[in-house]
Amino acid sequence: MFPSDLPKSITLQAQRIDASWPEDWSNSFDYVHQRLVLPGCENCSAATAVKNICALVKPGGWIELLEQDHNSPNPGAFDKAEEMIREIFTVNGFGFDYPLHMKDWLEAAGMEDIRQEVFDVPVGALNPNPELAWKSTWQISSAIAGFLPMARALPLSMPRDELDNLPKYTENEMNRVGGVQRIYVVYGRKPMED
């Protein structure tokens, strides 16, 4: 799964966001970055997962969380896909407004100097860079295809034929009109010990 020719200073490990971290990692990282995984929490709440990864940051170090808002005001080409994702996250009990809570979760975990930034990223036909337009179209339609097994297993309101066609529909709409992904980035610093 991982390359074997890594420098000795780099260690890679498969790790669930909602599982216990190795104890010797506690208070050991200058910078911890997490992105697009909080909805994968099954064994604990997202707030608890954030608290647990904050424990990995050494005093004076930083943590950064990045998640997509699935209820952005202008999704454009992937409006139906976002509708499906919102419904999946609602039916499975996670909810879809979690990016709006990340700042509060960092505060509750004891972080300071917390900042939140929101980025509206043009994707597909709205991105002026042809390579990025193509890559974003591929990434989004591939991600939608990845959601389909879960979507098919849940009692969603979208008709099955529409659901099955959603990756292709999204790809076509991304090429035709594009869209906007709203990304929340929240970061904070662990206080120095007294």
Structure confidence by residue, pLDDT tens digits, 134-148:
999 999 999 999 999
HSE-CB of 69 using CA atoms within 13 angstroms: 20
Q: What is the percent of the chain where pLDDT is above 70?
A: 98
Residue pLDDT, tens place only, 78-117: 889 999 999 999 998 888 899 999 999 999 999 999 999 9
Torsion of CA 163, 165, 170, 173, to 10 degrees: -130
Closest to 63 in 3D by CA, of 28, 98, 90, 93: 28
Architecture of domain 23-190: 3-Layer(aba) Sandwich (3.40)
Residue 77 has a pLDDT of: 76
Domain boundaries, the chain: 23-190
Q: Are 137 and 174 in contact (CB under 8 A)?
A: yes
Residue pLDDT, tens place only, 16-46: 999 999 999 999 999 999 999 998 888 899 9
